A and B are shown apart, each in its own frame.
Chain A
Amino acid sequence: MKKTVVFSALCLLSLLIWIPLCMLISGSLMSSGEIAKNLSPVLEGKSGFAAWPLMPRYPTFRAYVELLLDTPEFFVMFWNSCALVFPVVFGQIAVGAPAAWALTRPRFRQRKILRMIYIALMLLPFQVTMVSNYLVLDAFGLLGSRWAVIFPGIFSPFPVFIMMRFFSAIPESLLEASALDGAGPVRCFLSIGLPLGVPGILSASVLGFLEYWSMMEQPLAFLGDKSLWPLSLYLPAISADKAGLSLAASILMLLPALLIFLFGQHYLEQGIQAAGTKE
């Protein structure tokens, strides 16, 4: 009985979270005329309140058809997003995993200071580091190219922080035993650290994907060429009279993030546990 009450209460609460998604889905299935009619108090300044029915009166896939078959710009930006996000995620694994191992396992005197610096950097929001990033990228001649977004992403401290928690959970005795068997530090990292740290790597990847899939400031600041802009910048560019197109684009943008999340949900939970528990 008690469980039922709690379950019902939680369902009601979750509905609040589902409402925006429902509106997104129903809006993407409305005709442009219906959207304009519902949103006219907002879009055209008419009197009254905007209405948003959960079910479209005349459902149509017109917005999806137009977006998917008649808007090549959408696909250019979609693949731009992929071209930015995947190198960043792979780069974070390639760079972050050794860094996290180095900050976890080898004992050296400045390790704590370095970890403090990493955490401090992780806490700084993008707006704070934007100018320094800009100057550095300009000095390297990377401004205006995809690398201007990819490199700062690759060297982000956050995945290092996540992976550090996983690597630190590997028993020290296991590493000592492998060292006794003749394994060097690299061998230990590749053969023991990486396989045992896969959940951490994957959860860092999922979080990295979700973060960079929806990034806006970085491409706006570092990419002048619109042909390199990611999909996250496509949505604000759609005018109010094409709201249906915008909602359909939102759904499509949501899909890979959702699938990636489902794919990495298990590891993400482990990562959260790892970050939240002590040895």
Chain B
Amino acid sequence: MEMGKTLAAMPSTQRTAAKYLGGFFAVMALLTFLSRAADSFTVPVVTAEKISGGSLEHRAVAEGSLYPVSQAAVFAPAGYRILALHAEPGGRVSEGDILAELDVTQIQEQLDAAREELQKLRLGAAANAVRAPGETDESGIAAAERAIERAKADMEAAERESQLRVETARGDVSAARRFRRELRDMGEASDQELDEARNALRKQEQALEEAYLAREAALEAARRAIEDAEILLEREKAKAGRAAEVDAADERRAALEREAAGVDIRLAQQKVSELEALLETGGIVTAGTAGVVMKISGGVGSLTTGESLFVLSDSTAGVLFRTSVKVDDLKHIRRGNPASIVLTGERYAIDAVIESVSPTANGDGDFDVAAVLPDGSWEPGTSGKMTVTRKTASYPMRLSNGAVRKDQNGHFVLVIREVKGVLGNVTVAERVDIGVLEQDGSRCAVEGPLEQDDWIIIGGNRPVSVGNRVRLE
């Protein structure tokens, strides 16, 4: 009332200013409240934890299924139509149980064809056995040798004949000389006679010279004849050697062909025997051992492939839990480690022991792990989940994985620190760089300048960055 009177007494400008001033402060008070309310929405509410000491627990979880320790395959020859199947995967069978029936008519047809094929192979082998005798070409060598002999004999004859001629010519020369000497000694021979005698001697000497030449020519001709015959002999011998090599290769080839034919015959015989045996059983495939049908390759109406038609387990030999793990998990799995297995549909875990760890056959870097289950009525083929846990040594500082953050400068955590500011003491997220020593699925061991009382942010209702104001939940 008093205030109203005072305002009424004021000049109008003053009155308006006073009203606006009051309104201004009222609006500011309202906006103060609103900004605080907005702040409560925008400041992240975070959850935090303090560091704790202790060990990490590495846990490897892998899905797999139960396999029998021992398995038996049931085979059927390839290419036969399956008329009926009397087993299904997971079904239990006894030894001798009928598993499948094959098409008998088709078997009979194939048996007939196989027998004919066998017969054909045998005949072919017999034909090959009748082999043409080897033809050795000796005539050329013998002829050459004979030619040498003949040439040598010709040479000797020519030598003798020419020698005889030389001797005869030499005797004629001597007789002519003697006749001339006697004629001269007698002194009564006319000059004409002497000239005749001299001429006769000259003729005889010329004849002797010709005889010598004729002998040399005859001997040379004979030597050439011998050389030609020897060359011919060499050629004949080389020809004969080549012919012998060709004959040996033909012999080896023929032997191999005979051997191949023998193998073909044996295979055909085997096929015939198999078909006969199959026909004898009436095309029925039976279980060789008691167990559970693990796998069936093929269906009714399809053809057999020659691979195992059925895989039967031998459940009496025990079961293994088999799974495949990544190489990262492998460091926590060792042979002999305990493992916990929960089978599908079961509520309780089974304690098992790792039996073997080996690289997978497909070479993808994964590892096959097998664990032995204790005695019990385990059904091969049942799927389940295996968990292997391994504890590390104790670490002085452990944090939840959610508390550790990473950027290009490395790992860090956001610690809630109280700072003085315009708003008074407020809590902000402060960056503290740390090193991560080891990490498991939920926690990690760290090192760094952290205190036992530090609250480390692990999450919040919205993302938190370094320097943000935060509220601890």
Which residues of chain A have C-beta atoms less than 8 A from B42's C-beta? 70
Complexed CA–CA distance, A225 and B422 (Å): 8
- Given the interface pairs A255-B24, A266-B11, the reply to whether A69 lies near B420 with Cβ below 8 Å is no
Q: Does A41 contact B (CB under 8 A)?
A: no
Residue of A nearest to B16 (CB): A262
Total chain B interface residues with beta-carbon distance under 8 A: 25
12 residue pairs of the A-B complex, CB under 8 angstroms, read A68-B31, A69-B35, A71-B35, A72-B32, A76-B423, A76-B424, A78-B32, A255-B24, A256-B24, A263-B17, A263-B18, A265-B14
Q: Evaluate contact between A229 and B422: CB separation under 8 angstroms.
A: yes
Contact with A along B415-437 (1 / 0, CB 8 A): 00000111111000000000000
Q: How far is the CA of A266 from the CA of B31 in the complex (A)?
A: 31
**Cα(A225)–Cα(B426), bound, Å:** 13
Per-residue interface assignment for chain A, residues 16 to 40, with 1 indicating a CB less than 8 Å from any chain B CB and 0 otherwise: 0000000000000000000000000
Query: A226 at the A/B interface (Cβ < 8 Å)?
Result: yes
B28 contacts partner chain A, Cβ-Cβ < 8 Å: yes
Q: Is B39 an interface residue (CB 8 A)?
A: yes
Q: Which residues of A contact B129 (CB under 8 A)?
A: none
A73 sits at the interface (CB 8 A): yes
Give Cα distance in the complex from A263 to B7, angstroms.
11
By a CB distance below 8 angstroms, the chain A residues around B11 are: 266
Q: CB-CB < 8 A to B39: which residues of A?
A: 70, 72
Which residues between 417 and 465 of chain B lie within 8 Å of chain A, taking CB atoms? Answer: 420-425
Q: Which A residues, 67 to 122, have Cβ-Cβ distances below 8 Å to chain B?
A: 68-79, 82
Does B260 lie at the interface of the complex (its beta carbon under 8 Å from any beta carbon of A)? no
Contacts of B422 in A (CB 8 A): 73, 76-77, 226-227, 229, 234
Residue from B16, B28, B34, B38 with most neighbouring chain A CB atoms (10 Å)? B28
Partner of B21, one of A70, A260, A265: A260
Whether B28 contacts A72 by the Cβ 8 Å rule is no
**Which 7 pairs from chain A and chain B are nearest by CB?**
A262-B17, A263-B17, A75-B32, A227-B424, A73-B422, A259-B21, A72-B35
Contact B35 A68 (CB under 8 A): yes
Q: A70-B35, A227-B423, A260-B21 are in contact. Are A75 and B28 (CB under 8 A)?
A: yes
**With a CB–CB cut-off of 8 A, which chain B residues contact A234?**
422
Give CA–CA (A77, B32) in the complex, Å. 11
**A74 nearest in chain B by CB position:** B35
Inside 8 A of B252's CB, which chain A residues have their CB? none
Contact B421 A227, beta carbon cutoff 8 Å = yes
Min C-beta distance of B471 to chain A, whole Å:
13
Q: How far is the CA of A266 from the CA of B13 in the complex (A)?
A: 9
Given A73-B422, A226-B422, A262-B13, A256 contacting B35 (CB threshold 8 A): no
Cβ–Cβ contact A79 & B20, under 8 A: no
In angstroms, how far is the closest chain A Cβ from the Cβ of B97?
Answer: 81
Chain A, 217-251, CB within 8 A of any chain B CB: 225-227, 229, 234
Listed in ascending order, the chain A residues whose CB lies under 8 Å from chain B are 68-79, 82, 225-227, 229, 234, 255-256, 259-260, 262-266
A75 in contact with B421 (CB, 8 Å): no
Taking CB atoms, residues of chain A closer than 8 Å to B28 are: 75, 78
- Residue in chain B with minimal CB distance to A252: B28
Please classify the interface of chain B as helix (H, G, I), strand (E, B), loop, or mixed, using the class held by over half of its residues: helix
B residues whose Cβ falls under 8 Å from a Cβ of A: 11, 13-14, 16-18, 20-21, 24-25, 28, 31-32, 34-36, 38-39, 42, 420-425
B13 touches A72 (CB 8 A): no
Question: Are B13 and A265 interface neighbours, CB within 8 A?
Answer: yes
Which A residues touch B423, using CB under 8 A?
72-73, 76, 227
Cα distance, A77 to B14, chains bound together (Å): 27
- B423 CB, nearest partner CB in chain A, Å: 6
Bound-state Cα–Cα, A251 to B310, Å: 90
Closest CB in chain A relative to B2 CB, distance in Å: 15
B13 proximity list for chain A (CB < 8 A): 262, 265-266
Interface majority SS on A: helix, strand, loop or mixed? helix
Q: Is the CB–CB distance between A263 and B14 below 8 Å? A: yes
A262 touches B14 (CB 8 A): yes
* Chain B residues, CB < 8 A from A255: 24
Report whether B21 and A256 are in contact in the complex, using a CB–CB cutoff of 8 Å.
yes
Residues of the B chain whose Cβ atoms lie less than 8 Å from the Cβ of A265:
13-14, 17
- Among A73, A75, A76, A259, the residue within 8 A (CB) of B24 is A259
B21 close to A226 (CB less than 8 A)? no
Let me know if B35 and A75 touch, CB within 8 A.
yes
Chain A positions within 8 Å of B34 at CB level = 68-69
- Residue on B nearest A237 in the bound complex, by CB: B422
Question: Smallest distance from the beta carbon of B143 to chain A beta carbons, Å?
Answer: 117
Which residues of the partner chain A approach B424 to less than 8 Å between Cβ atoms? 76, 227
Partner of B420, one of A68, A73, A75, A226: A226
Chain A residues within an 8 Å CB radius of B420: 225-227
Which residues does chain A contribute within 8 Å of B38, judged by CB atoms? 69-70
Most buried by A among B18, B34, B422: B422
Query: Closest Cβ of chain A: how far from B31's Cβ, in Å?
Result: 5
| A75 and B21 contact, Cβ closer than 8 Å, known pairs A70-B42, A226-B420, A262-B14 | no
- Min CB gap A206→B, angstroms: 11
Measured CA separation A266–B34 after assembly (Å)? 36
Structural contact, B35 and A226, CB atoms closer than 8 A: no
CB distance from B252 to the nearest CB of A (A): 95
Name which residue of chain B comes closest to A255, CB basis: B24
Give Cα distance in the complex from A274 to B423, angstroms. Answer: 44
Q: B24 contacts which chain A residues (CB < 8 A)?
A: 255-256, 259
Cβ of B32: which chain A residues have Cβ within 8 Å of it? 72, 75, 78-79
Q: In the complex, A234→B21 CA distance in Å?
A: 21
B31 neighbours in A (Cβ, 8 Å): 68-69, 75
Q: In whole angstroms, how far apart are the Cα atoms of A72 and B421 in the complex?
A: 12
Q: How far is A78 from B39 in the complex, measured between Cα atoms in Å?
A: 17
Report the separation of the CA atoms of residues A226 and B424 in the bound assembly, to the nearest whole angstrom.
Answer: 7
**Chain B: CB-nearest residue to A263:** B17
For the complex, give the distance between the alpha carbons of A23 and B161 in Å. Answer: 154
What is the bound-complex CA distance between A143 and B99, given in angstroms? 101
Whole-angstrom distance from the CB of B33 to the nearest CB of chain A?
9
In the complex, chain A residues whose CB is within 8 Å of the CB of B25:
82, 256
A227 to B11, CA, bound (A): 39
Q: With A259-B24, A265-B13, A265-B17 given, name 11 new contacts (CB 8 A).
A: A69-B38, A70-B38, A74-B35, A75-B32, A76-B422, A76-B424, A79-B32, A226-B421, A234-B422, A262-B13, A263-B21
Instruction: Quote the shortest CB–CB distance from B131 to chain A (angstroms).
Output: 105
Nearest neighbor of B35 in chain A, beta-carbon distance: A72
A266→B420 CA distance, assembly (Å): 43
